Amino acid sequence: MCLGIPGQIVEISDPARKLAIADVSGVKREVNVACILGDGQLDDLIGTWTLIHVGFAMSRIDEAEAAETLKVLQMLGEAQEEIEAMRASAAE
């Protein structure tokens, strides 16, 4: 299963290699933006929300979609914690 995590492009770090810095829930990561660049300029991507998977910005999304995706991912994380707690208690 492919999972994309929302991030916002905050700066261009290496124009020659089409690399940018994305802010993902307060954590800054370098990502390749070649897939979302199209015919535009790299600087036009600053402020753009995108789904990031294994270091690549895969698609552009709007801010509302980014917020909803983050909410769902947080809910899934909480569900995973609950499942792990249930497994731990069943093993005792």
Provide the residue ranges of all domains of the chain, joining segments of one domain with +.
Answer: 1-61, 63-92
- Name the band, by pLDDT with cuts 50, 70 and 90, for residue 31: very high
Chain-centroid distance of CA 31 in Å reads 10
Between 14 and 38, the more confident residue is 14
How many of the other CB atoms lie within 10 Å of CB of 15?
Answer: 11
Q: Which H/E stretch holds residue 55?
A: none
User: CATH assignment of 1-61, given 3.40.50.2300, 1.10.3720.10, 2.60.40.420, 2.30.30.140?
Assistant: 2.30.30.140
Percent of the chain with pLDDT over 90: 60
